[in-house]
Structure 1
Amino acid sequence: MASHRSPRRTPLPGQSWPARVTVLSAAAAGAAAALSPAAPAGAEPGAGKPAAKSLNARIDRLYEQAEVATEKYNGVAERAGKLRKQVTNAQDAVARGQSEVNELRNSLGGLAGAQYRSGGIDPTLRLLLTEDPDGFLDKAATVDRIGTRQMLKLRQLRAAQHDLEQRRDEAAGKLARLDSLQKALKREKKSVQRKLAAAQRLVNKLSADERAARERAARHGHRGEAPEDGLPAGGGGKASSARAASAVAAVKSAVGRPYAWGAAGPYSFDCSGLTQWAYKQAGTAIPRTSQAQRSAGRQVPLGQARPGDLVVYRDDASHVGMYVGGGQVVHAPYPGAKVRYDPVGMMPISAVTRP
Structure 2
Amino acid sequence: MAAHRRTRKRTSGTARTVLTVALAGAAAATGFDGPALADPRRTPEQVRADVARLYREAEAATEQYNGAKEKAEAARHRLRGLQDETARRRARLNEAREALGSVAAAQYRGGGLDPALRLALSEDPDGYLRGAALAERVGSLQNARVGQVRTQLGEIERLRGAARVETESLTSRRAELERHRKTITGKLNAARRLLSGLPAERRDTGQASRPSGNAGDGPAAPVTARAPGPRAAEAVAYAYGKIGSPYVWGATGPDAFDCSGLVQAAYRSAGVSLPRTTYGQIDAGRRVARSELLPGDLVFFYSGISHVGIYVGDGRMIHAPNPSAPVRLASLDEMPFAGATRVS
Q: What band does the TM-score fall into relative to the shorter chain?
A: 0.7 to 0.9
Question: 2:227 matched to 1:239?
Answer: yes
1:40 corresponding residue in structure 2: none
User: 1:280: how far off?
Assistant: 0.8
List per-residue Cα deviations over 1:71-130 (Å, max 9, x = no partner). 000111111111211111111111111111111000101111222222222212222233
Q: 1:146 aligns with which of 138, 158, 178?
A: 138
Q: 1:270 to 1:305 in 2, by over 3 A?
A: same
The within-5 A match list for 1:106-185 is 106-185=98-177
User: 1:308: how far off?
Assistant: 0.0
Q: 2:59 aligns with which of 57, 62, 67?
A: 67
Matched to 2:59, the amino acid is E
1:296 corresponding residue in structure 2: 284
TM-score, normalised via structure 2 length? 0.81
TM-score, normalised via structure 1 length? 0.78
List per-residue Cα deviations over 1:109-163 (Å, max 9, x = no partner). 1111222222222212222233332332232222222111101111121112111
Matched to 2:43, the amino acid is A
List per-residue Cα deviations over 1:199-220 (Å, max 9, x = no partner). 11001011234326x4552726
Matched to 2:260, the amino acid is S
List per-residue Cα deviations over 1:213-249 (Å, max 9, x = no partner). x45527269xxxxxxxxxxxx9798101111111111
Q: 1:88 to 1:103 in 2, by over 3 A?
A: same
1:262 corresponding residue in structure 2: 250
Q: Paired residues, what number?
A: 294
List per-residue Cα deviations over 1:14-57 (Å, max 9, x = no partner). xxxxxxxxxxxxxxxxxxxxxxxxxxxxxxxxxxx743222112
Question: 2:237 matched to 1:249?
Answer: yes
List per-residue Cα deviations over 1:258-307 (Å, max 9, x = no partner). 11101111121100000011011111112111122222222222222110
Matched to 2:151, the amino acid is A
- Give secondary structure in 2 for the equivalent of 1:255: coil
Q: 1:86 to 1:116 in 2, by over 3 A?
A: same
1:23 corresponding residue in structure 2: none
Question: 2:271 matched to 1:283?
Answer: yes
Question: 2:70 matched to 1:82?
Answer: no
2: CA distance, partners of 1:311 / 1:165 = 48
Q: 1:99 to 1:92 in 2, by over 3 A?
A: same
2: CA distance, partners of 1:84 / 1:280 = 23
- Bigger shift: residues 269-278 or 158-167: 158-167
2: CA distance, partners of 1:170 / 1:50 = 56
1: CA distance, partners of 2:266 / 2:234 = 8
Aligned partners of 1:237 and 1:306 also within 8 Å: no
Matched to 1:245, the amino acid is A
- Give secondary structure in 1 for the equivalent of 2:255: coil
User: 1:250: how far off?
Assistant: 1.2
2: CA distance, partners of 1:166 / 1:209 = 62
Matched to 2:63, the amino acid is E
2:219 corresponding residue in structure 1: none
Larger-Rg structure: 1
2: CA distance, partners of 1:319 / 1:55 = 22
2:313 corresponding residue in structure 1: 325
Which structure dedicates a bigger proportion of its chain to helix? 2
Matched to 1:259, the amino acid is Y
Aligned partners of 1:118 and 1:139 also within 8 Å: no
**Structure 2 portions without partners, runs of 5+:** 1-40, 213-221
**C-alpha root-mean-square deviation of aligned residues, in Å?**
2.0
Q: Percent identity?
A: 43
Question: 2:186 matched to 1:194?
Answer: yes
User: 1:254: how far off?
Assistant: 1.3
Aligned partners of 1:220 and 1:346 also within 8 Å: no
Aligned partners of 2:48 and 2:203 also within 8 Å: no
2: CA distance, partners of 1:296 / 1:192 = 26
